[in-house]
Chains A and B, each alone.
Chain A
Amino acid sequence: MLERVLNNLRGIGKSVVNGIWRLGYASAFFLMVLMRSGVSFRRPSLTIREIYTAGVLSLIIIVVSGLFVGMVLALQGYETLQKYGSSEAVGTLVALSLVRELGPVVAALLFASRAGSAMTAEIGLMKATEQISAMEMMAVDPIARVIGPRFWGGVISMPLLAAIFSAVGVFGGYLIAVVLIGVDSGAFWSQMQSAVDFERDIVNGIIKSVVFGIAVTVIALFEGYDAPPTAEGVSGATTRTVVTSSLAILGLDFVLTAFMFRGV
């Protein structure tokens, strides 16, 4: 009995220490990527290729979900707002919720599951098939050559994807509110424009998406780099990437929102 309790306690201690160790390792990894990212800019074609895999290939899912999120927001918003006789404010509702929150957050969640998981699987498999060790043998720094371009590719793609998501979402809201329901188009745009501030809303949204981009790519690359070189290890790392980066996005979003919109 006592033995079992002690074993459980040891298990908890072990997982805590392991978690802190991994956090430290991940931070050191992040610094290392930043310091050795010179190659990513000296050979831009490497980075461009990664922008293609992380950004361009995520474009379809981002555009489609942005459109639908905007349309659903308009439908739901109209439903409630018309009770108060201010259905024109649906444009404000759609634009503010997209630009401030849903654009960066949903785009980052999609990006984590679309591009982040692919990054982890790719690097984990490179490690499992000893391509990374082979590079080290040839005196090619794998962090500079493999990790760096992927990091910058992800960080550059993420804000662009979030901006496209928001813009397409606003268009989706326009389609539903103005074209389908028949809200006055002038009032729709003018109320939106008087409510959305460039610095307060749009710039803050871009800052959010940059932070999420850094968080997602670092988590994805680290999980891949740290994955045990087995089939099981790679699959576990891929799952962990999606779970950890989704939680990181939501947690960071709360912190950033608390800083940006404290109501002052």
Chain B
Amino acid sequence: MEKTIHLWVGIFVCAGLAAVFVLALKVGNASATYSRGGAYTVTADFDNIGGLKVRAPVKGAGVVIGRVEDIDFETQRYVARVVLKIDKRYPFPKDTSVSILTSGLLGEQYVGLEAGGDSAMLKDGDTIKLTQSAVVLEKMIGQFLYSKAAEGGSK
């Protein structure tokens, strides 16, 4: 009797731990972050990051290759300093350009990398110079209205 109880409790505990693992790996994104090879971090300064958040994906050609590690405000030049953590398997040339993009019309924001032609690769701790800020919808609408008004006035 005691033996079977122990067996059942063992099965129960295993099932519970297995459920936690399934939740972490299959349902959650614990598996998606940095596989085996480790990662390197690079920083990039943006004039405006829009709605970018920590842990947002970093994508190259649409493939997730890393995550946003940290976002800070830099008071020397008043820009946003974004730290990107990129999987070691994906080296990028030094003249790579980064931009903050939106998936879909109103989707979440992510960081997109576009490789350049330099033969030297980005190292851990490097800074990316070529950056393009997030598109702020309100500004765009404002500009659009302004140009429309100007058009109307010239007629």
A interface residue numbers (CB < 8 A to B): 45, 48-49, 51-52, 55-56, 59, 95, 99, 157, 159-161, 163-164, 166-168, 170, 189, 192-194, 196-198, 201-202, 206
Contact = CB atoms under 8 A, between A and B. Distances in A.
A56 B8 contact: yes
Contact of A159 (B9, B16, B24, B32): B16
B23 A99 contact: yes
Q: Per DSSP, are chain B's interface residues mostly helix, strand or loop, or mixed?
A: helix
Given A189-B26, A197-B55, A45 B2 contact: yes
B9 A48 contact: yes
Counting chain A CB atoms within 10 Å of each CB, which of B23, B26, B27 scores highest?
B27
B32 A59 contact: no
Interface string B50-74: 0000010100000000000000000
B22 A167 contact: yes
B29 interface: yes
10 contacts: A52-B9, A157-B12, A163-B20, A167-B19, A170-B22, A170-B23, A193-B28, A196-B29, A202-B24, A206-B20
A51 B12 contact: yes
For the complex of A and B, list the 3 residue pairs with the smallest distance between their C-beta atoms, beginning with the closest. Answer: A160-B16, A167-B19, A163-B19
A49 B27 CA distance: 32
Nearest to A63: B15
Counting chain A CB atoms within 10 Å of each CB, which of B6, B13, B19 scores highest?
B19
Nearest to B10: A48
B137 interface: no
Contacts of B24: 198, 202
Contacts of A167: 18-19, 22-23, 27
B20 A51 contact: no
Nearest to B22: A167
On chain B, which size bracket covers the interface? 20 to 34
Counting chain A CB atoms within 10 Å of each CB, which of B5, B15, B24 scores highest?
B15
A95 B17 CA distance: 18
Counting chain A CB atoms within 10 Å of each CB, which of B2, B6, B24, B26 scores highest?
B26
A198 B17 contact: no
B12 A196 contact: no
A202 B12 contact: no
Interface in B125-144: none
A164 B32 contact: no
B121 interface: no
B30 to A, nearest CB: 4
Counting chain A CB atoms within 10 Å of each CB, which of B6, B8, B11, B16 scores highest?
B16
Contact of A196 (B8, B13, B19, B27): B27
Contacts of A160: 12-13, 15-17, 19
A164 B16 CA distance: 6
Nearest to A159: B16
A59 B11 CA distance: 11
A8 B48 CA distance: 66
Nearest to B103: A194
A4 B5 CA distance: 58
A56 B17 CA distance: 14
Contact of B32 (A49, A193, A201, A206): A193
